[in-house]
Amino acid sequence: MTTVMQEAARCLLCEDAPCSKACPAHTNPAKFIRSVRFRNVKGAAETIRENNALGAICARVCPTERYCESACTRAKIDGPIDIGGIQRYVTDMERKENMQILHAGKENGMNVAIIGSGPAGLQAAATLRQKGYGVDIYEKNAKAGGYLTYGIPEYRLPEAIVDYEVQRIVNLGSNIKYNVAVGKDITMDDLKAKYDAVIVAIGASAAKTIPMFEHNICTESAISFLARAKENKGKLDDLPDNVLVIGGGDVAMDVVTTLKKLGVTHVTDMVYEEFSEFKASKKELEGAQKEGVTIVDGYVPTDVRQNKVTFKHRKIDSEMTITADKIILAIGQKVDADGLNIDIQHNEIPFRKVRFHTKDPKVFATGDIVDGDKTVVYAVQKGKEVAEEIDRVLGGQDND
Ligand SMILES: Cc1cc2nc3c(=O)[nH]c(=O)nc-3n(C[C@H](O)[C@H](O)[C@H](O)COP(=O)(O)OP(=O)(O)OC[C@H]3O[C@@H](n4cnc5c(N)ncnc54)[C@H](O)[C@@H]3O)c2cc1C
Ligand code: SF4
């Protein structure tokens, strides 16, 4: 087995490192790997945290094969450096030794409300606290983290790691108000009256559906199932023996793998894409196949009667009907901004602002609500950028 030091020793410490350019959060693996080689773990942790307040989470869930590791120079020689693994080692040491890396800035007297405590909201809070802003996060759920807590399965991201990262952001002086749904328990106008700026970071929390499944009593959405599995710590007593899953992305792979880990005997996954065009990462797909999930590619549902679904192949003349005890739809997530009365500006003002401003100059938006179903590291970067934009505007530098 390769040790972290041996893996770090393989790194070429490239000038102008391509791994760094490929990271959406602009983390600099070359710099933190160099620190690891000199056994300076604190220096390595500082480099990771400089750009990512959720570095321990990203070390576990980042699709590195799509980002830093795909760009790694060593990939063309004998395989990419295990950047995620080294980041995990550094952040594990940081936790073990209780290193305090991030610090709150001098209070500047201004306050920001953040709606939503997913990665975008949490990172925005960390960046704003470092700049001296007072931060209150309003979260509709009983726990913080968004899909980190209520989506990504425990076997990939332990709850203890999410709790640890959230606590570090609370320790910076961010205040989280739990069980408060903005638009229902409190209005946007209340927040606008109380704060200098409001960030809407509510993600994409509603499940997409296919009209024929809308009122089907045998059907549940992927995010509802995964949230229940996490909340109940894997003890679901309503699981039948034969489940049909529709969808072929990473969320679908989480569903089928979780079903298998919970002991469901027959898990069949029907996927629109063919294997050559699969959306799920290779790692997640292989994990599902290892668990014994039956994956059938290239089929679209054409009819549903109770628990019987008929599929047609997209390209060849083939039809099949599957009878299952339960159907889970994993075809993506969409925004539910009911009651928030926000309108994100598109293409009306310069690009830099389009991504974060709404029609109300006090209200900003970031994360999956703006960019769609993306990744944790992407939401982290957008959380940082919205905080910087607010600092620019409230700091009086808004000259546009
Ligand atoms: C099952 C699943 C697995 C995933 N796996 C990965 C992975 O392995 N790697 C990866 O990089 N990405 C993964 N993703 C994607 C990633 O989790 C998201 O891109 C990311 O969480 C988006 O962050 P966000 O902060 O914009 O929104 P979210 O994480 O959705 O957080 C939004 C928060 O806002 C809160 N909220 C919503 N409305 C209100 C309201 N009205 N008032 C108060 N609070 C509100 C919600 O409760 C939630 O806490 C996965 C997603 C899912 C669903
Ligand atoms: S691209 Fe690969 S080899 Fe080069 S610095 Fe980054 S991790 Fe090291």
In this structure, are 176 and 200 located in the same domain? yes
pLDDT digits (tens, 9 = 90+) for 177-220: 999 999 999 999 999 999 999 999 999 999 999 999 999 999 99
pLDDT score for 348: 45
14 touches ligand 2 (CB under 6 Å): yes
> What's the gap in Å between 13 CA and the centre of ligand 1?
34
Which atom from ligand 1 is nearest to the alpha carbon of 203?
27
In this structure, are 376 and 319 located in the same domain? no
> What's the gap in Å between 333 CA and the centre of ligand 1?
10
Question: How many other CB atoms are there within 10 angstroms of residue 340's CB atom?
Answer: 23
Which atom from ligand 2 is nearest to the alpha carbon of 73?
1
Q: What is the pLDDT confidence band of residue 341, given thresholds at 50, 70 and 90?
A: confident
In this structure, are 279 and 187 located in the same domain? no
In this structure, are 361 and 319 located in the same domain? no
The ligand placed nearest to the CA atom of residue 179 is 1
Indicate whether 340 belongs to any domain.
no
Q: Do 156 and 110 form a contact (C-beta atoms < 8 A)?
A: no
In this structure, are 117 and 190 located in the same domain? yes
Q: Which residue has the higher pLDDT, 118 or 282?
A: 118
19 touches ligand 2 (CB under 6 Å): yes
In this structure, are 217 and 275 located in the same domain? yes
pLDDT digits (tens, 9 = 90+) for 106-122: 999 999 999 999 999 99
383 touches ligand 1 (CB under 6 Å): no
Indicate whether 343 belongs to any domain.
no
In this structure, are 190 and 139 located in the same domain? yes
E strands in the chain = 111-115, 134-138, 175-177, 197-200, 206-207, 219-221, 242-246, 266-271, 294-297, 299-305, 308-313, 319-323, 326-329, 333-334, 363-365
Tell me, what CATH number does 321's domain have? 3.50.50.60
Pairwise CA distance, residues 197 & 136, whole Å: 11
pLDDT score for 396: 58
Q: Does residue 57 surpass a pLDDT of 80?
A: yes
Residue 147, helix vs strand vs coil? helix
Indicate whether 379 belongs to any domain.
yes
Which atom from ligand 1 is nearest to the alpha carbon of 138?
43
Which atom from ligand 1 is nearest to the alpha carbon of 122?
25
Q: Do 378 and 24 form a contact (C-beta atoms < 8 A)?
A: yes
Indicate whether 78 belongs to any domain.
yes
Pairwise CA distance, residues 107 & 123, whole Å: 18
Tell me, what CATH number does 80's domain have? 1.10.1060.10
In this structure, are 92 and 18 located in the same domain? yes
> What's the gap in Å between 302 CA and the centre of ligand 1?
30
The domain of 48 spans 4-96
> What's the gap in Å between 19 CA and the centre of ligand 1?
25
Q: What would the mean pLDDT of 215-235 be, rounded to a whole number? A: 93
pLDDT score for 399: 45
Indicate whether 102 belongs to any domain.
no
pLDDT digits (tens, 9 = 90+) for 21-31: 999 999 999 99
Q: Does residue 350 surpass a pLDDT of 50?
A: no
Last residue of a domain, one of 301, 334, 367: 334
pLDDT score for 352: 47
Structure tokens at 358: 């709404």
Q: Whose C-alpha lies nearest to ligand 1, atom 21?
A: 147
Which atom from ligand 2 is nearest to the alpha carbon of 75?
2
pLDDT score for 383: 96
In this structure, are 128 and 180 located in the same domain? yes
Residue 246, helix vs strand vs coil? strand
Q: Does residue 281 surpass a pLDDT of 60?
A: yes
Q: Name the residue of 137, 139, 253, 376 whose CB sits within 8 Å of the most ligand 1 atoms, as the mutation to test its pocket.
A: 376
In this structure, are 201 and 234 located in the same domain? no
Indicate whether 345 belongs to any domain.
no
Q: Which burial class, exposed, middle or buried, applies to 168 when counting CB atoms under 10 A from its CB (0-12, 13-18, 19+)?
A: buried
Considering its fold, how many domains does the chain have in total? Answer: 3
152 touches ligand 1 (CB under 6 Å): yes
Which atom from ligand 2 is nearest to the alpha carbon of 18?
1
In this structure, are 250 and 176 located in the same domain? no
Query: Which DSSP state fits 182?
Result: B
Indicate whether 339 belongs to any domain.
no
In this structure, are 118 and 196 located in the same domain? yes
